[in-house]
Amino acid sequence: MKRLLVVLFALLACAPAWAGKKPLYTYFRVGNPNDIVTAVSPGIVLMGGGTDVDAAFQWMCDKAGNGDFLVIRATGTDAYNPYIQDLCPAANSVATLIIPSIAAANAISLDIRGEATHPHMVEVTQQDLRNLQSRQAVAKTSSTDNGHQHGVTFTPM
């Protein structure tokens, strides 16, 4: 019992340090802070190393049913957020997730709530990241919170 109390005390003493630790990834979102449910259809756009193609982004917005649009990057900024928002003004929101390292990419748990009053977590595994790197879309289901859940599809660009 005494050992258990010592362990509990040590864990409680460390809690403030854990609570203040910044995540290894960065997340930015513009538009409606509340998620919406839309009808979606599958599609993949392979893009990179050249000029952005406006029509490709507009096509992805249509495929997403003008729901929530997520850009995943290894480096850079959230500069795609206003660019995509201008191209797809009917989109509910546009977000950028920057995952700069393998450490940041390990078993990521994303809170996709935006400014909603309840959380929705999406777990992204190493295999999901390998699939994205191979230009394969990854479909996930969020945690069930407040009596519902959301489908999320990560589409490589």
pLDDT digits (tens, 9 = 90+) for 2-30: 443 333 333 334 344 334 446 677 889 99
Task: State the alpha helices, DSSP H only, in 64-112.
Answer: 80-87, 102-105
Q: At what angle do helices 80-87 and 54-63 cross, to 10 degrees?
A: 70
Segments making up each domain of the chain, as ranges? 22-154
Name the amino acid, one letter, at 123.
E
Contacts of 12 (CB under 8 A, 6+ apart): none
Taking only the tens place, the pLDDT of each residue in 34-64 is 888 888 888 878 777 789 999 999 998 888 8
Q: Which two tokens stand for residue 119?
A: 């959380």
